[in-house]
Chain A
Amino acid sequence: MSPKALKALEPASTDPAFIRNFCIIAHIDHGKSTLADRMLQITGVVSDRDMRAQYLDRMDIERERGITIKSQAVRMPWALDGQSYALNMIDTPGHVDFTYEVSRSLAACEGAILLVDAAQGIEAQTLANLYLALDNDLTIIPVLNKIDLPAADPEKYAKEIAGLIGGRPEDVLRVSGKTGMGVEELLDLVVRTIPAPVGDPKAPARAMIFDSVYDSYRGVITYVRMIDGSMSPREKVMMMSTKSTHELLEIGVSAPEPTPTKGLGVGEVGYLITGVKDVRLSKVGDTVTNFAKPATVALKGYAEPKPMVFSGLYPIDGSDYPVLREALDKLKLSDAALVYEPETSVALGFGFRCGFLGLLHLEIVTERLEREFGLDLIATAPSVIYEVTTDDKKTVTVTNPSEFPGGKIASVSEPVVKASILTPKDYVGTVMELCQGRRGTMQGMEYVGEDRVELHYTMPLGEIVFDFFDHLKSRTQGYASLDYEPVGEQEADLVKVDILLQGEAVDAFSAIVHRDKAYAYGVLMTERLKKLIPRQQFEVPIQAAIGARIIARESISAMRKDVLAKCYGGDITRKRKLLEKQKEGKKRMKMVGRVEVPQEAFIAALSGDTEKKEKK
């Protein structure tokens, strides 16, 4: 029997009984995109000729990093025992920064493929997403991928998975996305085990937005899962959270190229185009309904995206500021979670304070700004949101150390996360040490399989955003994985450490840190700057201070010699050119008081490049 459906089911008139909506939960690099590609090929929606690696990942960055940032949905035909089915595969983002988006994608499905690398086993983020999937009552199909790899150990990891979700190890399907082995059986299993969607076709239309993508040609493309009722082209729809109304210019399914249809019915997954240009008008998690016959109750689970991590972005060339503003305005159209407002730094000039979902989000946005808009940027050290209460009972929200109030502070509260770290058992000690050093409180630990341990900590988010992940990776030789979710706030003894050059605070280097770590931060930054700032005509003290109290100090001795001894045989031209070159060099300097600081010093000091160089 040909596995391909002889006759694909027509969208808008598909009986929900023959629809299967599922997603794939996997860690970065565990082969989700490759498996998805193979499914597209086997079901015939993408011809072998058009196949390109990671078909579904659109953005360059996604393809390069092999990760999915934006989810997509594809409708694939499949046949089993003579019956045609429509399979909707919803590709979910795989990173902790996008937990909310993941949860919405999961809410659009009845089942999930738990995809695990047969050579590596399950990772923390996968575990986190698995919890989310179970929480959404999804049917889980456990699958081990990459069984063609020599290092694959399917027996071991099948046992590990069975230990986690129940069932027998031998029920864990073994596939290879690369060779296609086992993929047909997997599709059959999707049809057999994942429940068909259930909804009320007569009820007012309710569709849940699980993704919203900006396309420069077509405006915002909104991906939805129909829960109740149906939608058809040209009808007027309403977003229930904003009450904004739009006309459906196009409605269709991805197969995987957008294909217009007569509409979408109960249980179906597809896209809507309304001509809207800003993803903020089409928010993930929101419910779309019919304007004329609206639903009264929105689908649950909608939440406004909430930035957790903040950083100042500054153009290296100050004249690029308008370009940066324009770039952010454009990026915002496709990234509803990105927030920003203008900010001025004495040291770095004009820039923007930007809020991100997490560190990866920050990295992706910075990289897109640099790549897609040709900008050279400096990002200040990431910060989180602090609530600072002064002695006179005023509360200030601080997302930038420069907003930290002076004077007497009654209390400071900081965001706390629940962090889960999955690590080979040999590294448990070193990971615990790291977490302890980051003010983590251990909540428990459990074995996952024979030789891996999941550690649970509550930890200040501020500690995680400051190079925690780098340390975790380097201390475990890359084996540990991390997941975290916000669990509230706590009061802590936090102080602002300023870095002063010749008595003048350099705002870009100020940081909010725990009092116990203030000294270490002060020493780190003063030492870094001593290495990075060239000698001046005068001695430059570099100090770290909490308020007026100096906690660390270095000094750059004055430059004593800056003169060319002679003028070679009257070659004045050469000497003048040298002067011009020096003057040109000075233009790239930022003045902090009287101290000339090269732009590169700021970048290096903020990125910690000095230490990395030394290690080489």
Chain B
Amino acid sequence: MPSALPLADPAPLDGTLPASAAIGAAERNFGVYVHVPFCRVRCGYCDFNTYTSDELRGAKRTDYAGQAIAEMALGRQILERAGLPPRPASTVFFGGGTPTMLPVTDLAAMLAAVRDTWGLAEGAEVTTEANPDSVDADYLLALAAAGFTRVSFGMQSAVPHVLATLERTHDPERVPLVVEWARAAGLSVSLDLIYGTPGESLEDWRASLEHALAQHPDHLSAYSLIVEDGTKLARQIRRGEVAQPDEDLQADMYELADELLEASGYGWYEVSNWSRPAGVADGALPTVGASAADQRSRHNLAYWQGHDWWGVGPGAHSHVGGVRWWNVKHPAAYAERILAGNSPAAGRETLDEETRRVERVLLRTRIRDGLAVSELPAPARTAVAGLIGDGLVDGAAALRGTIRLTLRGRLLADAVVRRLLDE
């Protein structure tokens, strides 16, 4: 979550949605995101909406699960009132912050509340993020018993000096252990990596990738480090204490990641995400579970495919039928709203036709399933020829009707989007 909320319309206190949100809802999946805004320490690069115990201003971690559950009940009413059909959650994702800062019973209770409030679809994907040093074998077993199917570990790097720059506190040696325990608990495993940290060499990155691959995760995310305004890292760079990440080196790192991952049987399905096995049928929805054939994250894909989701918790973002909103950021402000029985939404926007079209191009271009050429207006279809010529869009896929980025195109995805939208 970004440090600042977008500027937009105020959200009504009772959270009422416009009737337009219900249009076509039956064709969209429904997901739930639960934001857990707590961390033991704040990492220098992080500008997510999370708080250490010193920063909570009276909000209590122990009260949090109850508040989140209250928001779910409110959410159900709001959706019903807007005329949306009841839809069980196809995906649930606990992110943060550090969700595993909470006792596993809290996570289990919140998941149970999702089930009680909306229901869980058959084969639902239920993920939590976790720090390697915040879970043990029992915790992971308890997650699986509560109905979690997937855990995403914030490994970030296997190289001590890189972890130190990132101010990550875990010992890289712990990663194989937690992966082993998660597997034993029957959970599907994803590893999160960060590349392009100041001081990280291409060889450092290779070591991290190889270390990650040695754990045989089912899924892997690799995010380039982005220096966000207001973070400690940004200040260090401004003062010249730490070097600015080099974009060319980051590009080399991305290419190396793709090369090593492809060679190990992973395939990209979104610009920063790879899963096993490579080359799953385009467009088909992945099945679920550690043993399943397709390990793409359906929750992650839902963001890019324009499905509906309810974001629970401070600063969480939601999307239902072309209405996007976001909650107040601070846990104390959030608690106050919930206790008063009000919607925690701070602001929202209702997308018009044109904005929805722009978003569709913006979002779908990033995924391997891509954007249908037929969805583009005529001038943009002409731009596709230029993009193929420049080696940014896969020509063969385009002939079959899909805009799919090449490796170079993925690195320049934002530029491709601009060209597709440049009328």
Contact = CB atoms under 8 A, between A and B. Distances in A.
Given A568-B2, A569-B1, A569-B35, A561 B271 contact: no
Contacts of A571: 1-2, 6, 317, 326
A574 B319 CA distance: 13
Contact of B412 (A563, A572, A576): A563
B223 A565 contact: yes
Contacts of B251: 560-561
A562 B412 contact: yes
A437 interface: no
Given A573-B8, A586-B418, A562 B411 contact: yes
Interface stretch (A10-18, A255-263, A577-585): A577-585
B192 to A, nearest CB: 10
Nearest to A571: B317
B173 interface: no
Contact of B418 (A559, A565, A572, A579): A579
A397 interface: no
B418 A582 contact: yes
A574 B408 CA distance: 24
A568 B271 CA distance: 14
A292 interface: no
Contact of A567 (B303, B316, B318): B303
B250 interface: yes
A538 interface: yes
A560 B2 contact: no
B362 A575 contact: yes
A566 interface: yes
Contacts of A537: 390, 392, 412, 415
A565 B411 CA distance: 9
Nearest to B248: A560
Interface string B333-365: 000000000000000010000010011001100
Interface in A536-573: 537-538, 559-573
A579 B303 contact: no
Interface string B309-320: 101000111110
B418 A574 contact: no
Contacts of A577: 6
A418 B315 CA distance: 73
Interface in B240-266: 247-248, 250-251, 254
B396 interface: no
B414 interface: yes
Nearest to B302: A570
B33 interface: yes
A574 B6 contact: yes
Main secondary structure of the interface of B (DSSP, over half): mixed
A559 B251 CA distance: 9
A108 B317 CA distance: 80
A570 B224 contact: no
Contacts of B1: 568-569, 571
A312 B258 CA distance: 51
Q: Sort chain B's interface into a size bin.
A: 35 or more
B398 interface: no
B70 interface: no
B226 A564 contact: yes
Interface string B411-423: 1111101100110
Contact of B272 (A562, A565, A583, A586): A565
A572 to B, nearest CB: 6
A577 B223 CA distance: 21
Q: Sort chain A's interface into a size bin.
A: 20 to 34
A588 to B, nearest CB: 14
Given A537-B392, A538-B390, A562 B317 contact: no
A586 B423 CA distance: 12
Contacts of A565: 223-224, 226, 271-272
Contacts of A564: 226, 414
Contacts of B413: 562-563
B139 interface: no
A582 B418 CA distance: 8
A58 to B, nearest CB: 48
Contact of A561 (B33, B272, B326, B412): B412
A106 to B, nearest CB: 60
Contacts of A586: 418, 422
Contact of B223 (A562, A566, A569): A566
Contact of B319 (A568, A572, A579): A572
Contacts of B411: 560-563
A570 B317 contact: yes
Interface in A564-616: 564-577, 579, 582-583, 586
B410 interface: yes
B95 interface: yes
Contact of B2 (A559, A562, A563, A574): A574
A579 B414 contact: yes
A579 B417 contact: yes
Contacts of B48: 568-569
A318 B257 CA distance: 46
Contact of B33 (A563, A569, A582, A583): A569
B316 A569 contact: yes
Contacts of A570: 33, 303, 309, 311, 316-319
B324 interface: yes
Contacts of B415: 537, 559, 562
A126 to B, nearest CB: 50
A573 B412 contact: no
A572 B421 contact: no
Contacts of B316: 569-570
Contacts of A579: 358, 362, 414, 417-418, 421
Nearest to B97: A569
A133 to B, nearest CB: 59
A558 to B, nearest CB: 9
Interface string B376-402: 000000000000001010000000000
13 contacts: A537-B412, A559-B412, A560-B247, A560-B251, A562-B413, A564-B226, A565-B223, A565-B271, A565-B272, A569-B311, A572-B317, A573-B324, A579-B418
Given A561-B411, A562-B415, 4 more contacts: A561-B224, A572-B359, A572-B362, A586-B418
Interface of A: 537-538, 559-577, 579, 582-583, 586
Interface of B: 1-2, 6, 8, 33, 35, 48-49, 95, 221, 223-224, 226, 247-248, 250-251, 254, 271-272, 303-304, 309, 311, 315-319, 324, 326, 349, 355, 358-359, 362-363, 390, 392, 408, 410-415, 417-418, 421-422
Question: Which 4 interchain pairs have the tightest Cβ spacing?
Answer: A560-B251, A563-B413, A565-B223, A561-B251
